[in-house]
Amino acid sequence: FPGPFTDVVTTNLKLRNPSDRKVCFKVKTTAPRRYCVRPNSGIIDPGSSVIVSVMLQPFDYDPNEKSKHKFMVQTTYAPPNISDMEAVWKEAKPDELMDSKLRCVFEMPNENDKLNDIDASKPAPVLNTSKQDGPMPKPHSVSLNDTETRKLVEECKRLQAEIMKLTDENRHLRDEGLRLRKVAHSDKSGSSTALALRDNGSNSLPSLLVVIAAIFIGFFLGKFIL
């Protein structure tokens, strides 16, 4: 009998008649108040079987207490005409009776079984469904596939290379402007040329950066929105 024993625990006992004659059976127990047996007696036809339900009533289980409960199944060949079952057992001779003895075993579930039972008793999670039918609208920001991701990475690398190139050109123009400024201090006649180159260099860099930034922002906005 598997525990816990806070409720009725039922174990089935199968009796089979392998002979070619009808057999009477009776189920007895050493603790009749603790068990309910249905049916506790009857007749089994030749080659047939019957299921006997043994119901253990709830009780306070003590693991330190060994089970002393026993069952005995008595059988005898049924007489030709059966009118009273009690008379059959009273009139049966000892050498005509056959019996099988069974000992009750109580088993409490271990901690792992308890956890599994608790998990199994939990209701399955229910998805939160909306009352509105139809497919859900797709959000604007969707995940990109691998091909689009690679294209974006390559485009970013290309733009970074162009920015680095423009940075080098800016540095070159700045150095050229400094050189021309020094020349202007030494030779006032060439000041106008140096100032013109410096202005052209300083004005050309913001224009190029604005164009690159516009291309970069437009590219990513097109990718994520479309």
Report pLDDT for 139: 47
Compute the distance between CA of residue 100 and CA of residue 171 in angstroms, rounded to an integer: 105
Q: Output the pLDDT for position 188.
A: 57
pLDDT at 157: 77
Give the pLDDT confidence score for residue 195 in this predicted structure. 53
Kindly report, residue by residue over 41-96, the tens digit of the pLDDT: 999 999 999 999 999 999 888 877 777 899 999 999 998 887 788 888 888 888 88
> Do the Cβ atoms of 37 and 14 come closer than 8 Å?
no
- Phi, psi angle pair for 190, to nearest 5°: -95, 15
**And the tokens for 16?**
């089979």
Identify the sign of the CA torsion 72, 77, 79, 82.
Answer: positive
Q: Is the pTM of this model over 0.75?
A: no
- Rounded to whole angstroms, how far apart are CA atoms 22 and 182? 129
What pLDDT sits at residue 156? 73
- What is the pLDDT at residue 27? 94
Give the number of C-alpha atoms closer than 13 A to the C-alpha of residue 175, restricted to the C-beta side. Answer: 5
Tell me what pLDDT residue 176 has: 81
DSSP string, the chain: -BS--SS-EEEEEEEE--SSS-EEEEEEES-TTTEEEESSEEEE-TT-EEEEEEEEPP----TTSPP--EEEEEEEEPPSS-S-HHHHHHH--GGG-EEEEEE---B---HHHHHHHHHHHSPPP-----SS-SPPPPPSS----HHHHHHHHHHHHHHHHHHHHHHHHHHHHHHHHHHHHHHHHH-GGGHHHHHHHHHHHHHHHHHHHHHHHHHHHHHHHHHHH-
Q: What is the pLDDT along the chain (226 residues), one digit of tens a residue?
A: 988 888 999 999 999 999 999 999 999 999 999 999 999 999 999 999 999 999 999 988 887 777 789 999 999 999 888 778 888 888 888 888 999 999 999 888 774 454 455 555 555 554 444 444 455 554 444 445 567 677 777 777 777 777 778 778 778 888 887 888 777 676 655 555 555 555 555 555 556 666 676 676 666 656 555 5
